Amino acid sequence: MTKIRKMALVLSALLFLLTNCKETKSTESAQEPTKVPTSLKSSFAKSFYLGAAINESQIMETDAKGIAVINREFNTLTPENNMKWMYLQPTPNSFDFTFADKYVALGEKMDMFVVGHTLVWHSQLPNFMHSVKDSAAMATHIKNHIHTVMGRYKGRIHAWDVVNEALNEDGSLRQSLFQQVLGDDYIEYAFQLASQADPEAKLIYNDYNLWKPEKRAGVVRLVKRLQEKGIQVDGVGMQAHWSLEGPSLEDIENSIIAYSELGVKVQFTELDVTALPNPWEVEGAEVSQNYEEYEGDLSMDPYRTGLPDSVQTKLANRYQEIFELFLKHQDKIDRVTFWGVNDGGSWLNGWPIKGRTNHPLLFDRNFAPKKAYTQVLALKKKDKLSFHQTTKK
């Protein structure tokens, strides 16, 4: 065989190998599944809904950075303020659905689980409601409000906070305007009206400090009373305005279990973790609490220029342990909603002390993910790794 022929055979063989290799890579590339970008909603999709309460600028889509985070990270929305009674019906029978319509349309556009917040609450009521002293007139106003609002969004809003913050800290009924005029049965009345207005919607009782044993017992009594009368109630909303120190995981867990044993789902409806010190008696979210004497006090507002690394780590670890508990009981939990999208938009910058710089959420003032975000996401990566290792065994 001549040298030229040998060289030709070698070159032909090399050409065959190169061509075959390219084809194999091309085939493998074509068969690779499209990877879904890592986000909160994709990571926790099989556990529970993850969402945020959104403000007016986000509802109107003028906050471009906020909208981008909402669309990327969350799959459920709650309106922070725009669906409260004083905004929807400021005067008798005069409804303003401008922002509510935009909110629901945004949720539909983003394919969200849409929450309505809130129908019956003693706070943020229009002025005319405070002058109602007749029980029949009060009942008519409640019926008109619930049926009008829920009827407008029937089939479009998937869950409602029907009654909000009706209990005292000891579990007894709060002496609210509704309770004083209608008596203790106003809660049953509200849930009955809500069930009539949209039988397919999930109906929730929502309150703060529901980790406390006394208040927990009050919720258990309330839900059982509704159930015994055949009145629809689908879940308990634990607001979850917490701190770096408390409440304890044990108290939270005991409440998850207690509410689940009633046959209803638990929602964590207003999650945030304050990074700032508060007056010692402040717990939960009683909006009437205000401490003007502390305004401008740097000891109560120590992180104006940002969180030190040590506090970032403490916040991240707190969120990690909270979500570890949520994942442990994911069969009992329907939804986890943060009360705000980023630190700059959090209500905790103005409560209970006005003008502070708080850092209670997973995204900072520039909408960048914080260490807490990374550690929460890492739980699901760890969960997947553990699952694959168990499967291989």
The confidence score (pLDDT) of residue 239 equals 97
**Confidence (pLDDT) at 6:** 54
The predicted pLDDT at position 28 comes to 40
Instruction: Count how many residues are written for the chain.
Output: 393
Reply yes or no on whether 281 is catalytic. no
Q: What is the CATH number of domain 47-278+293-392?
A: 3.20.20.80
* pLDDT for the residue 30: 43
Q: Give dist(CA 219, CA 283) in Å, integer.
A: 18
**Using an 8 Å Cβ cutoff, are 146 and 95 in contact?**
no
> pLDDT tens, 176-209?
999 999 999 999 999 999 999 999 999 999 999 9
Could you say which of 270, 293, 295, 324 is catalytic? 270
**Catalytic residue (one of 108, 165, 188, 214):** 165
pTM over 0.85: yes
Nearest CA-CA partner of 378 in 339, 338, 321: 321
| Gyration radius (Cα) of the chain, Å | 26
Residues contacting 77, CB < 8 A, separation 6+: 51, 52, 53, 54, 70, 103, 106, 107, 110, 112, 113, 114, 115
Question: How do the domains of the chain map onto residue ranges?
Answer: 47-278+293-392
pLDDT at 381 (0 to 100):
82
Q: Is 286 a catalytic residue?
A: no
Q: Which residues of the chain have pLDDT under 50?
A: 10, 17-19, 21-32, 387-393
